[in-house]
Structure 1
Amino acid sequence: MAAPKKHIVFDVIGTLQLRAEGIKPLLFGYACHHSMPYLTSHIRIETAEREYAYLSVSSTTGYTPFYKAFAPLFYRVLWMFGISTPREFASDEDKDFIIQSFTALRMRPGAAECISHLCANGFTVWGYTAGDVATVGQYFADAGIEMLVGNLLSCDMYGVGKPDKESYRPVLEMLRKEGEDGELWFAAAHMWDVSAATKSGFKGAWCSVLEKEPCLEIFGEMDVMADSLPEMARMVVEKAKGRGRG
């Protein structure tokens, strides 16, 4: 009798992707002719994720793709950083430069090792993102990580944004057909993402590389909680092996 299949779905933006330390790697900003200070893309991404999620659950506006929400927030985030006249301080050309730079962000250290270890231990690895498949696929390609195009999924395909529970359901149902009664995991560096996925039926794996504090009082314990991507992969594999011994 064939062994049950094992699948793990990764959030991409913020989990496998985005550079790893402080302000330097999370570049939202750049040095332009105004001597604009370096700012973090993380703040803008978090703001865009909030607005994206709110728009998705709104009964009046419906679903809005993440990148459509991401670009217009440029001037608002400058205001939040204390720039009193954002549209005088920066231009649409500056905004377009930042958006283009966003497509060139690199994978986190340990991402390749994480995926390699899971694949070596029988997991099929998927990516599920609020971004678009073409951009996300390029992140993997640039890092030399082999990822089947068909294994990259986007909320755009289903018209529902994370963390709405309904956004995880079609992915879960697809994998249940693929994996029968096998291991179905969801992994992310956003605790809200993992928490919502577990409420939909996934097992949850959280990595602290982005948020550091798990805020268990809000989200509760996940099946796996680790401080690095390779450690998270090892813990998921061990949990899966433990299931097989039962």
Structure 2
Amino acid sequence: MAAPVSKNVVFDVVGTCVSYDKLIETLDKQLGDKMRAEGVKPSMFIYMWVEAAEREYTYLSITNRYIAFDVIFASLFWRMLWMSGIEEPREFATEEDVKKITEGYMDLEVRPDLKECFDKLRAAGFTVRGLTAGDYGRVLGYFEKAGVEMPTEHLMSCDSFGVGKPDLKAYASTYEALSGGSELWFAAAHMWDVSSAKQVGFKSAYCSVLEKEACIDLFGEMDVMSDTLSEMADKIIKASSS
């Protein structure tokens, strides 16, 4: 009799399992009033900063100059102030401001229904894993602080192999390591992320909690599309059993 197929769901972490809300709150506390006086909304600044950091992280990686995301993120702060219309960024903010704001990254919190999502998947026989571009210790700390189970051996950082998402090699190495007789899903709230994982063979699950608009015209339909993480778990389980 054939052995049962192992089932895995690999989650992106930052933006998917955890939100950026605490980072926005930290920036608002540190520089919010000054930013609003310049017509800069803190939430918009954070998302612009994160998106720019993800781009530079990717560009450096695909040109064989991998640098950890956390390093890139901190370095870009002054550039993002300039691009927001602040003419003298290093007079507007101090190194201490940057230090306190980037420390806010350590305090990101998991989404309210993450534990429910993981519990549903595990009860249905799935192993829950994570693949992140973030620092391993920082990302593991998000789960530990929230009391959400994520065994250390089930979490992988791109830092460990020096290839950043969405380079297909970043997904392929994880896919190949798990592919023996497995049903493999990749789950993310970034459409660029999950659609890239689909290219190497993962079944794809997208949650709109971060981006709201899936932009299917750009990325195509995923195997599972949901508005919440808990709904995503239900749909993965249904698709798996069908």
Query: 1:85-114 deviations in whole A, cap 9, x for unaligned?
Result: 110010010000011111111011211111
Match of 1:131? 134
User: Comparing both structures, which one devotes a greater share of its residues to helix?
Assistant: 2
8 A contact 2:205–2:232 mirrored in 1: yes
Match of 1:223? 223
Letter in 1 for 2:63: S
Measure the CA separation in 1 of the matches of 2:110 and 2:32: 30
Measure the CA separation in 2 of the matches of 1:235 and 1:26: 31
- More displaced stretch, 35-44 vs 136-145: 35-44
Of 143, 159, 163, the residue aligned with 1:160 is: 163
8 A contact 1:28–1:39 mirrored in 2: no
Measure the CA separation in 2 of the matches of 1:34 and 1:181: 51
TM-score by length of 1: 0.90
Matched, 1:76 2:79: yes
Match of 1:232? 232
Measure the CA separation in 2 of the matches of 1:133 and 1:144: 17
SS at match of 2:34: coil
Measure the CA separation in 2 of the matches of 1:91 and 1:165: 38
8 A contact 2:23–2:105 mirrored in 1: no
Residue 30 of structure 1 and its aligned partner are, at CA, apart by 2.8
TM-score by length of 2: 0.92
Residue 76 of structure 1 and its aligned partner are, at CA, apart by 1.3
Of 43, 46, 54, the residue aligned with 2:51 is: 46
Measure the CA separation in 2 of the matches of 1:43 and 1:115: 30
Match of 2:4? 3
Measure the CA separation in 1 of the matches of 2:185 and 2:32: 46
Question: Unpaired runs of 5+ in structure 2?
Answer: 36-40
Query: 1:119-147 deviations in whole A, cap 9, x for unaligned?
Result: 11100000100001100010001111011
Identity %: 48
Query: 1:7-64 deviations in whole A, cap 9, x for unaligned?
Result: 00000011011156xxx874461334783346123221111101100110114xx211
Letter in 2 for 1:224: V
Match of 1:181? 181
Letter in 2 for 1:187: A
Letter in 1 for 2:117: C
SS at match of 1:225: strand
Residues 1:236 and 1:94: Cα distance change in structure 2 (over 3 Å): same
Matched, 1:14 2:15: yes
Measure the CA separation in 2 of the matches of 1:195 and 1:32: 36
Of 62, 80, 83, the residue aligned with 1:57 is: 62
Structure 1 stretches (4+) deviating beyond 4 angstroms? none
Letter in 1 for 2:202: F
